[in-house]
Amino acid sequence: MLDGVVNPMNTSRGRELVTRVKAHQLITIGESPDRYIKQFETKEPLEREWAALQECRGSQIQKVLDVDWSNLQLTLEFDQHAIPLSDFNPQDVALFTSLLSHVIQSIKHCHKNGWVHGDIKPSNILYVPNLRTIRLIDFGASHRIGTSREALTDWQATPMFASPNQLSGEGLVDTGDDWFPLLQIIDQVMSVARDNSIRSTLFTWRDALSIEV
């Protein structure tokens, strides 16, 4: 039900919009099912993702367990029982609707701490069944609010969900870059929702979020 489409790489005034996320090697740690290592090729994206996760840390944000600056490695929490929203199906519409306030809360938490997640999409939002809440993961596209895109040599976005400014590489990074994709997700869910009360709730959320874009 919830999924994204990855398009070929585009360019904007000689700078690269990375629509296929740059591959990071993921390394498992022995028999430990609760963590994995993300291997970076250069220091800048490691520094940025680490800073975002540290400054936005909270119960609905993926935890950093360790950082190895010399080997450019980030050790991250992994919950084998968590379910990405991209695995939801039409029978999960009511569950998605009940989780929507948690998704909004987690995004607002990032914004309050000065960061835009930058790649809000179903696969980056995990449902945690035992806690009946969600967790945001993959802050590889995150930037501080107010960052000039003109100064970036490359940046990440998922075309199906990204805001127009993200796709064009123009303007400043702002909170609308997270609300725009969430609206796209809500629209996807509304297209398969049949229950009138659920549709009404989704419409209400959609109207409230529209003023943020």
Neighbouring CB atoms inside 10 A of 140's CB total 22
Q: Which CATH class is domain 10-210?
A: mainly alpha
CA distances from residue 71 to 31, 33, 50, 68 in whole angstroms, order as listed: 21, 22, 14, 6
Across the chain, which has 213 residues, the per-10-residue mean pLDDT values are 44 49 54 84 95 98 97 94 96 97 98 98 97 96 95 86 91 97 97 96 96 89
Q: What is the model's pTM?
A: 0.88
Domains in the chain: boundaries: 10-210
158 exposure class (CB count in 10 Å sphere: 0-12, 13-18, 19+): buried
Taking Cα atoms as reference points, which of 110, 164, 103 lies closest to residue 134? 103
Q: What count of Cα atoms within 13 Å lies in the side-chain half-sphere of residue 7? A: 12
Q: What kind and span of H or E run contains 61?
A: none
pLDDT at residue number 155: 79
Residue 46 contacts residue 71 (beta carbons within 8 Å)? no
The pair of structure tokens assigned to 98 is 């009940």
> SS3 for 148?
strand
